[in-house]
Amino acid sequence: MRRFTTGSRRQRIVAGPGTKPLHSSPLRQPLYVRSFNRVGAALGRSRPAGPRLDPDRLQGLARRYTGLDDFGDPGFARGLEVLLEALEEEGRLSSLGRCIAFFNLLNLLAVRLRMVDASGQRAEPGAIRRPLVITGLPRTGTTILHELIACDPAFRAPLTWEVMRPVPRPQPVQGADTRIPLVARLLGLLELIAPGFRTIHAIGARLPQECVYLLSSHFHSEQFAYMFNVPTYRRWLLAQDMSGAYAWHRNFLCHLQAGWPPARWVLKTPAHLASLDALLACYPDADVVWMHRRPLDALASFASLTSTLRSGFSDHVDRVAAGRHEEEHFAAVLERAMAQRAALPAERFVDVSFDAVCADPIAVVGAIYAHFDIAFTDDARMGMEQYLRQRPRDLYGVHRYSAGEFGLDAAGERAHYGDYLERYGRWC
């Protein structure tokens, strides 16, 4: 197991404890979002107007829309039910948020039906060899590392448009696939309803996508907790056996792999931390990169992301409650991850500092490749260098936030993350 840090500590955007928050304004909902929600609230009276979130209705509509009937493994259904209950009881959805949730879930059910229908076109599971999996707390550099390694011709990452519209199977020569501009337009709507989200997290139809989006059509996915306030669903998810969800994940990759030349997949999501045992049972030859950053900074940044995103779907986003929920949730996730990692072969993991990625990301990639005996070719290096030139860090603006506005401080960090900092503090 290799451990390394490189370069100097980058300047933090996060304000330290006791300092004045850099950004603590109320929700920045556009006028058209506020107007839509006011009309919906007036029409709905007891709750914002919008479609009913009922699992049977949604599944029936998905069947009618696609002309298909088989959802495959029925294990998905309970996740859908728990999620819908949490959305109704805790989500405090606005009228617009209710509409978006309804059509998002309907689309995921349609994706599931089409994926099951196309199951005969998948590659064999053995075609998914030795994936490289990037995980860690959210906002620790997992995204930039994922995108950089995806520039290596020897690797392939699931792209956003492929995950959102996987049927028919994406082809190696994409040409003018009409799904790409369609997904680009849909992603553009996200910035319209949640302004500033793109500043925090880059989105694009051709950008690599994280694994929560593959898992979302099995309805065992942290994606829903990013978008909506659903703590009950999140607690339920943390208690689940994720083997069925990872079987769906593997089938999804096999679907995307069919007809393509052999390549290693590079995958990422912080959510893998909660299920390292299920992940490595599904992919026994996977190599895992664990990213590290001081939890106070990572969670403040993530609470800013979720609060901004949720503002597009709810008129009631409590940023202090959001911050404290993330603090408690990821403390439980890390406790589980550390215990599971201790029972797994040490050579399967490499630890990486967030500050090292900020200082010299290509050097970090080189060290990861060396640890896992991956060839770092000139073509890979040139692709990564070009990518960094084309996508400067603040391409869409500077992400400003503070720990204090989310109810986070150093005392809470010590209370919740003492064991983690004791074990991995050298990389934080």
For the segment 187-204, what is each residue's pLDDT rounded down to a tens digit?
998 888 888 888 888 889
Asked which of 54-68, 157-171, 387-401 is least confident by mean pLDDT, the reply is: 387-401
d(CA 109, CA 102): 11
Confidence of residue 8 (pLDDT cuts 50, 70, 90): very low
d(CA 92, CA 61): 24
Q: Tens digit of pLDDT for each residue in 11-58?
A: 344 444 433 343 334 466 776 566 555 655 655 555 665 788 999 999
Whether residue 23 lies inside any domain: the answer is: yes
DSSP letter string over 292-338?
A: E--HHHHHHHHHHHHHHHHTTTBS---HHHHHHHHHHHHHHHHHHHH
d(CA 408, CA 107): 36
DSSP label of 407? T
Residue 352, phi then psi, degrees to nearest 5: -135, 135
Whether residue 56 lies inside any domain: the answer is: no
Range of the domain at 372: 3-31+129-427
CB 320 within 8 A of CB 399: no
Instruction: Kindly give, in sequence order, each residue whose CB lies less than 8 Å from that of residue 288, ignoring residues fewer than 6 positions away.
Output: 133, 134, 135, 272, 276, 279, 280, 348, 349, 350
Asked which of 4-8, 80-84, 223-227, 375-379 is least confident by mean pLDDT, the reply is: 4-8
Cα angle 273, 358, 344 (rounded to 5 degrees) comes to 25
Confidence of residue 7 (pLDDT cuts 50, 70, 90): very low
9 to 3, 140, 291, 354, 358: CA distances (angstroms):
17, 13, 15, 9, 8
CB 293 within 8 A of CB 137: yes
CATH of the domain at 342: 3.40.50.300
CB 229 within 8 A of CB 92: yes
Whether residue 69 lies inside any domain: the answer is: no
What percentage of the chain exceeds 90 in pLDDT? 77
Query: Total structural domains in the chain?
Result: 1
DSSP label of 93? B
The pairs formed by 86-92 with CB atoms below 8 angstroms and a separation of 24 or more are: 86/228, 86/230, 86/231, 86/232, 86/233, 87/53, 87/228, 87/230, 88/53, 89/232, 90/229, 90/230, 90/231, 90/232, 91/228, 91/229, 91/230, 91/313, 91/314, 92/229, 92/314, 92/315, 92/316
99 to 40, 93, 94, 413: CA distances (angstroms):
10, 9, 9, 37
Whether residue 275 lies inside any domain: the answer is: yes
Q: Tens digit of pLDDT for each residue in 280-314?
A: 999 999 999 999 999 999 999 999 999 999 999 99
Whether residue 42 lies inside any domain: the answer is: no
Whether residue 142 lies inside any domain: the answer is: yes
Whether residue 349 lies inside any domain: the answer is: yes
